[in-house]
Structure 1
Amino acid sequence: MSFSFDNLSSLHLDILKEIGTIGAGNAATSLSKMLDRRIDMNVPEVKIAEFKDVEDIMGGAETPVVGIYLEFSGDICGTVLLVLDVISAKHITALLLGNACSDGLKRDFSEIEISALEELGNILTAAYLGAISSFTGLTIKPSVPYFACDMLGAILSVPMIKFGQTSDKAMFIETDLINGTERFRSHFIVIPDMESFPLILKALGVV
């Protein structure tokens, strides 16, 4: 029987949330070391959302955002998309580069800012995929990250086109990066292909 997101039970979602929580903790630790300051993350909220609803959850199709796109392969395959609003992305690059925050209303990013955000995507993705790998024993290799700054609808169109023929849903993780009193909302969209989800659940012993 082919896999459907509708087959996921509350137990499955609890396990996926636990993996997300551990991945977030790993990512916060990596960022703290990178910045030499304490960075926290709140407990991620994990949802299974239809593509058509994701835009509304994240502020609407016309919202200007930064997207960091990666694919992963190995024992399982799929796509990861990290989405930040432009103001948060500007603040985070300032932290990463040790600069004063530039105007968040400006949507242009310098090459060094783009490199910093791609590295952020690398860190967060490696932490999350590493958590899945540790739980399951599956080999997972992320690709080189790709940066884009555009309207949310355009950013989301890439994974929607790639996976829309096999599924109309994705695993949607929402969390905040916390630096003292500053909170930066991040949206992490993980889209394993349909053949990968049963492998993940089987490796976790919950199928």
Structure 2
Amino acid sequence: MEGYRRIHSTHLDVLKEIGNIGAGHAATSLSALLGKTVEMSVPEAAIVPFQELPDRMGGSENEIAAIYARVDGHTPGSVYFFANVCESERFIQSLTGKESVQMGMAKQSDLEYSAYLEAGNIVIGSYLTSFADLTGLQVSCGVPDLSVDMAGAIISHGLSRLVSQGDAAIVIDTHMKIEGWSISRNFGSILLLFDPEAFETLFRSLGVQVDE
């Protein structure tokens, strides 16, 4: 937990700013993809203990669509973009023009899978590009994958190699507004599971004081 204990409100403000810039880039790319105006913003960046992550996702049994990618470079770890399945279905309807979309476990078609994966990849890529631009750190993103499952199962799998290294993660919430239709004010979140030592590297690169 040492790396996480050193994170204060100032650090979270920096992460929120990175998130807002990334959200702006993602909104531009999604607008081009959809042919509609997309607005995105980041209302909050928070440190969330591992045991509370499923609650952050609507509960352990809440079905979510999560896109995962490995992050390598100066700040190794993992990045997730996740959203409630119902909201994900509405989002894919806008992407594909289909009237009926099913993203539940083992229900999505190849088209729906590909559409959501592409959109999530845009969001993740935009956030990581913003992260790299503002920090000057080198980061690379692995090939993303999509999993639709209960939040508890997805989190358990994602934390399997980290439980001995830390006990909290960074969650960056995302608000999205799409021209012509209503979407939940809070749509999707970015989950950063960086290796604990990576946080010192991140904040030092930004000139933020790290307590010893």
Superposition TM-score tier, normalisation by shorter sequence: over 0.9
Aligned to 1:116: 115
* CA shift digits 1:33-89 (9 cap, x unpaired): 111110111333111000111111221101111111111112221101111111111
Residues 151 and 105 of structure 1, relative CA distance in 2, 3 Å threshold: closer
Are residue 200 (structure 1) and residue 202 (structure 2) matched? yes
Are residue 187 (structure 1) and residue 189 (structure 2) matched? yes
3-state DSSP class of the match of 1:182? coil
Which stretch of structure 1 is more off in the superposition, 31-40 or 104-113?
Answer: 104-113
- Give, in angstroms, the shift of residue 17 of structure 1: 0.9
Amino acid at match of 1:137: G
Which stretch of structure 1 is more off in the superposition, 22-31 or 34-43?
Answer: 34-43
Aligned to 2:173: 174
| Pairing of 1:85-104 with structure 2 (within 5 A) | 85-102=84-101
Residues 111 and 3 of structure 1, relative CA distance in 2, 3 Å threshold: same
1:130, 1:70 → 2: CA distance?
A: 14
* CA shift digits 1:99-133 (9 cap, x unpaired): 22435778610011111111112101111111110
TM (norm. structure 2) is 0.90
1:104, 1:146 → 2: CA distance?
A: 15
Residues 100 and 118 of structure 1, relative CA distance in 2, 3 Å threshold: same
Asked if the contact 1:3/1:197 (under 8 Å) is kept, the reply is no
2:189, 2:97 → 1: CA distance?
A: 24
Amino acid at match of 2:5: D
1:61, 1:165 → 2: CA distance?
A: 21
Cα RMSD after superposing both structures: 1.8
TM (norm. structure 1) is 0.92
Unpaired runs of 5+ residues, structure 2, are none
Residues 5 and 89 of structure 1, relative CA distance in 2, 3 Å threshold: same
Amino acid at match of 2:208: V
Residues 28 and 126 of structure 1, relative CA distance in 2, 3 Å threshold: same
Amino acid at match of 2:150: M
3-state DSSP class of the match of 2:36? coil
3-state DSSP class of the match of 2:107? coil
3-state DSSP class of the match of 2:99? coil
- Give, in angstroms, the shift of residue 182 of structure 1: 1.6
Runs of 4+ aligned residues of structure 1 deviating over 3 Å after TM superposition are: 103-107
Asked if the contact 2:101/2:112 (under 8 Å) is kept, the reply is no
Asked if the contact 1:48/1:172 (under 8 Å) is kept, the reply is yes
3-state DSSP class of the match of 1:172? strand
Unpaired runs of 5+ residues, structure 1, are none
- Give, in angstroms, the shift of residue 172 of structure 1: 0.6
Amino acid at match of 1:51: F
Amino acid at match of 1:17: K
Amino acid at match of 2:83: L
